[in-house]
Chains A and B, each alone.
Chain A
Amino acid sequence: MNTMTQDILPGENKGAALKKVKAHIKAYIIDVLLWSYIVLAGWKIVYEKAIIGARYSNFSWDQPLLSLGLGFVIALVLFFTRVSIGKAVNGLYERNPEKTVLSEPFTILGYVIFAITFVSGLLISQVSIREFLSESGLHGAKRIFLALFNPNFAIIQDALFAGVETIYMAFIATAVALPVAFILAFFAARNLMNGSRLTMTIYSVVRFLLNVSRSIEPLVWAIIFSVWVGIGPFAGMLALSLHSVSSLSKLYSEQIENISDGPIEAMTATGAHPIQIIWYGVVPQIVLPYLSFTIYRWDINVRMATVIGLVGGGGIGTLLMQYQGLAKWNEVGLLVIIIAAIVWIMDYLSSKIREAIK
């Protein structure tokens, strides 16, 4: 029994009606987009490439527009039947409990969309069994595989040094990112920042910047930094730490959002300063998960450092790129073995450590 009263506002019924209209509009928009996609993909990819067999179909911008127009019409006609996916995902159909979702008409339309996408995908990626099994192709592959399985141990010293460079580079990238992410995470945690409008603004700005920098691949950052500070491990490290800051901040702040409010409330009640509240009420709850994320991040950074080396980020990746460019497959074989060993060891160690501190 709850004796707390809820004030019922007079506009609440109107709100519900408005919500229903909005859901219908959303459903219709989804249907239009889906039908336009079906028309466009079916026509330009499946029909022209597979059935007519045109290698390069001529494209003009009226074609997607025409598809969109057709989409509007088809979606409108079918909106009142049970094949509207938009209505289904917005929960506007009354469900028959005896029937499973899988046998509903809108699910069958879903299968059709999947089939069109699958066929289009095959056509666009130019999947060809003939080329996969062609004689000259197989011959080339055999040559490379033989060389790879016959690694040249003469360069093992260079390769190991480059591998060590990669590991240290990843370590420094993680270590530099750690304190920055640690501080940023507090500003990106909703439960700490929802106090006033000012803090919410800071929260939104920090979140936005983190999302933008995270959505740019470290590979792209490495290209930018290798122009900025010159090709080498420093550029790779900068690229990795930038990306680590954004992804660690995100993981950290999610951890902060999951903590229990009890200790924070208790620390506030003692009259502690906000910084003391964070240090005593928040930090003890997040230290272990942070440690675990950070070690995992180092592990990821070692793998990424290899890839980043390919574009001039230094370490074993750069070495790999050089030998590959010279078509020295025996040397490449050795590098591949060393990379695999490093990744495997890092993976094993990081999972062991993370298990131990859980």
Chain B
Amino acid sequence: MLKVTELHKKYPNGTHALKGVSFDVKQGEFLVVIGLSGSGKSTLLRCINRLHEPSHGTINFEGSDITNIKGQPLRTLRSKIGMIFQHFNLIPRKTVMTNVLAGSLSRTSIFKSILGMFSDEEREKAKRFIKIVGLAGKENQRADNLSGGQQQRVSIARALMQNPKVLLADEPVASLDPATSHSVMQYLKKVNEELGVTIICNLHFLSLVRQYASRVIALKGGKLIYEGQPLDIDENWFKTIYGEEAVEVTID
């Protein structure tokens, strides 16, 4: 469903973050992207929903080329791709409900959204997703008063509100403690398996990768250097991806 070909990204400051990355994503996969900080993982994810503009190469989503689309077609594309972030990026001072409803902005008119007039249907739907991520009853609490793990679950509900085909997760557990990390990963797995949403997720910990990924790609210095099954990453591959000095840390 998603095909990335020879993708390059060069930032205006000269940093060449992606150097010709190509890969495919199939419907229903849980694809994990690994690599050191600065290897281009975040840039790659942000190129897929065009938060960053690719410098060269093509991205094909559901059979159409989306590398250069603009305006309304781009917004429609983004609405089909949910995204969750390392720092949750929730709207401060707003309730859980408002934050989740923000996921439906692309299909709400500008006028109605400024007045906060979301339809009953959308509200029902938001409630259902809040329940799915285990936060039922917290609809009217301020989102910034919740714990880190709960905030990340709100952001999953917000992404689900978009009816996404794909969910991009940029280091979703990097600012959470180990126990909460697993809980958030389990919700992502649930979304993947029960709602059939394809997931592309950046991760740091190999133990999490082995547990949740259905396939893994690894980036190093902006190049794709590994593609395969999570359990096939052995000591040698590990050293290639993370450098000779690296020692694996586990999270349980």
Contacts and interface: CB of A to CB of B under 8 A. Distances in A.
Contacts of A265: 51, 85, 89
B216 to A, nearest CB: 18
Interface string B52-78: 000000000000000000000011111
A92 B37 CA distance: 37
B85 A5 contact: no
Please report whether the interface of chain A is mostly helix, strand, loop or mixed according to DSSP.
helix
A208 interface: no
A280 interface: yes
Interface residues of B, number: 47
A279 B105 CA distance: 11
A197 to B, nearest CB: 13
A5 B105 contact: no
Nearest to A6: B14
Contact of B221 (A5, A262, A281): A5
Contacts of A262: 85, 87-89
B155 interface: yes
Nearest to B13: A6
Given A3-B221, A270-B105, A276 B113 contact: yes
Contacts, number: 110
B83 interface: yes
A1 interface: yes
B155 A266 contact: yes
Interface string B92-118: 111000000011011010100110000
B134 interface: no
Nearest to A275: B110
A277 to B, nearest CB: 8
A280 B80 CA distance: 19
Interface string A252-289: 00000000001101111111110110011100110110
A129 interface: no
Given A3-B38, A4-B15, A268 B78 contact: yes
A269 to B, nearest CB: 4
A7 interface: yes
Given A266-B83, A271-B77, A3 B36 contact: yes
A135 B37 CA distance: 80
B149 interface: no
Contacts of A5: 15-16, 221-222
B81 interface: yes
Contacts of B113: 272, 276, 279-280
30 contacts: A1-B243, A3-B222, A4-B16, A4-B222, A5-B222, A263-B90, A263-B92, A265-B51, A266-B91, A266-B158, A267-B91, A268-B78, A269-B81, A269-B82, A270-B79, A270-B103, A270-B106, A270-B159, A270-B162, A271-B77, A272-B75, A272-B105, A276-B105, A276-B110, A279-B114, A280-B102, A280-B105, A280-B113, A284-B92, A285-B92
Interface of B: 14-17, 36-40, 49, 51, 74-83, 85, 87-94, 102-103, 105-106, 108, 110, 113-114, 155, 158-159, 162, 168, 220-222, 243
